[in-house]
Structure 1
Amino acid sequence: MTADPRLFAHDPQRRWSEAPAPAGWHELRPSPARARSRTALRSAPEPLAAQVTEALPGEALERLADEGEWTWVRTVHDGYLGWARAADVGAGWTPDLEVEALRAHAYAAPRVSAPIVAELCRGARLAAGAGEVVTEEHRRWQPVTLPGGQAGWVQAVVLSPLAVPDPASFALTLLGAPYVWGGRSAWGLDCSGLTQLAYAACGLSLPRDADQQHAALSTVDVPRRGDLAFFPGHVGLMLDGRQMVHANATAMAVSVDTLGEGEYGGRLLASLRGYGRWPGPEAR
């Protein structure tokens, strides 16, 4: 079986490959790295190449090879390959804080009027900074070190875990979030980015792309809340037997649609390829 090029680093043009590399090729040796900010991973080392996925601030990466201003990396959490600007990839370090808010900012000082120094999102990783927590007008400010090494402050509330009863409930918190091809955060995400994020909020790890998610789940004929619905190149998360929440390029946002209802719902139902259910015990 041919290795999936989204996951296995093998480049005939550059004669690069991870082990086992063919004779005469350069064998890639991954080194630990972290994304300095929300970082686009592209299909090629070119600024206009398609974004295939996104690394969140502070997210763990493997650096595979460098070419000019670009570096070939793999996201550790799902093993996905892509090209990032080398300036957006830093050395490996050990964060000890995780952002729980859907969207957040880091500030230059512990007050809301201070300049914003970083854009954060759920899943961003930070390190506790030097100094003590500061209370200002009943707000608790946590000093942090950002993935690029810069000092900043975040309100402690953005680090507080959110109650997530199930993946469908989490997906609904993202209604209206912009559709972005390859995106994985509330600042912008695609269909499989939404389902991966929603399942992860409940401790369930899905692969990155819709076809990979389809292969990972158990096929069911009658959907229930939390199951995934699959279409050619698309995936949505079922709210019940007919309603589905999904990030889509028709609304250019996360929206709720009903299979078989209206012109768009009719097209969705006609192209439905089946439903998938988490194969083991549910996390909630």
Structure 2
Amino acid sequence: MWHMTLASTLPDARIHAYDPELQLAEDALRGVVGDATWTYPTPQPVVAAARLSLRAGPQPEAAQVTEALPGEALERLWGSGAGWVRVRTLHDSYLGWAREEGLVPPPEGEALTVTALRAHAFAGPKVSRSLVAELCLGARVVRVPGEVVVEGGRRWVPVALPGGAAAWVQEVTLSPIPEPDVAALALRFLEAPYVWGGRSAWGLDCSGLTQLVFRAFGRPLPRDADQQQAALESVDAPQRGDLAFFPGHVGLMLDDRRLVHANATHMRVTVETLGEGVYGRQLAAGCTGFGRWTA
């Protein structure tokens, strides 16, 4: 048996971890779900070893609900006993099931954030050396002792990848993004492939794109389109940088009519004009509102 203090509604299972079948719940839900027979495990801090798929269930065929980026901070909540673990992405509290081998202990040292849309880590400070990891905007590596190596005008930084493996990255992949313009950053993703649940330029979905570009400038957004709409201030007249919302979809406005979005219609990131063309008219008819970051 299990109970809730509010029997009419369940906590949002996207961000609140509980499992009536296993009688497990996160400690924050103690007294809200479950009873004396339930277990409330202590979360364990971990990070994603590489881009890590979080799925709706502990099965390889389950839908991907989100993706953790290399080095991104997570909580390990509990396991399924078959190599799958329930995890939470700490930056947005989103939950999913991931493979145990995709998790590593949090690193120690100075964290560096990748600012290139897509990048690679190399086995040595030279472009002809072998690739040892794929990186992306928002991924995190750790600076390790050692001098920056200059080779052919390129500056190479020694780093440790999540899990501790030694590698080298070009300094340019860590350079600050020049202008705090979410729309300009989103436009750099044009033609990136659409992937349900994806959060990187290797493949991403609509709310993954908007979350990623806002986060790059220290503006955290929730994971899903409906959560993002609830988090932003509603506005009637959109401007550059506002979000446009549709049933199950979100795009980022470039001005009062054009938007950039990752979409399954074109299976890539594209620009549309509301009200123009077949797709633009469809989007305009389905628009449920606009949201603006005001924090």
For 2:214, the equivalent position in structure 1 comes to 199
For 2:180, the equivalent position in structure 1 comes to 165
The partner residue of 1:8 within 16, 23, 39 is 16
Does 2:284 align with 1:269?
yes
| Identity in percent | 60
CA distance in 1, matches of 2:124, 2:106: 26
| 1:93-131 Cα distance to aligned partner (Å, 9 max, x none) | 235211111110001111101110000001111111343
Structure 2 residue ranges without an equivalent (≥5): 1-8
| Alpha carbons 1:199, 1:205 under 8 Å: kept | yes
CA distance in 2, matches of 1:29, 1:187: 33
| 1:40-84 Cα distance to aligned partner (Å, 9 max, x none) | 000101111111000000000001011221111000100000111
Query: How far 1:262 sits from its partner (Å)?
Result: 0.7
Describe how 1:135-146 pairs up with structure 2 within 5 A.
135-146=150-161
For 2:76, the equivalent position in structure 1 comes to 63
Q: Secondary structure at the match of 2:280?
A: helix
Deviates more, 1:193-202 or 1:228-237: 193-202
For 2:140, the equivalent position in structure 1 comes to 125
Does 2:46 align with 1:38?
no
Deviates more, 1:163-172 or 1:181-190: 163-172
Give the structure-2-normalised TM-score.
0.92
CA distance in 2, matches of 1:164, 1:174: 16
Give the structure-1-normalised TM-score.
0.96
Q: Secondary structure at the match of 1:143?
A: strand
CA distance in 1, matches of 2:215, 2:270: 20
Does 2:66 align with 1:29?
no
Query: How far 1:164 sits from its partner (Å)?
Result: 2.7
Q: Secondary structure at the match of 1:219?
A: strand
The partner residue of 1:238 within 244, 253, 257 is 253
Q: Secondary structure at the match of 2:126?
A: coil
- Report the residue type matching 1:173 in the other structure: R
For 1:73, the equivalent position in structure 2 comes to 87
Q: CA RMSD in A?
A: 1.1
CA distance in 1, matches of 2:35, 2:56: 23
The partner residue of 2:202 within 182, 187, 192 is 187
- Report the residue type matching 1:207 in the other structure: P
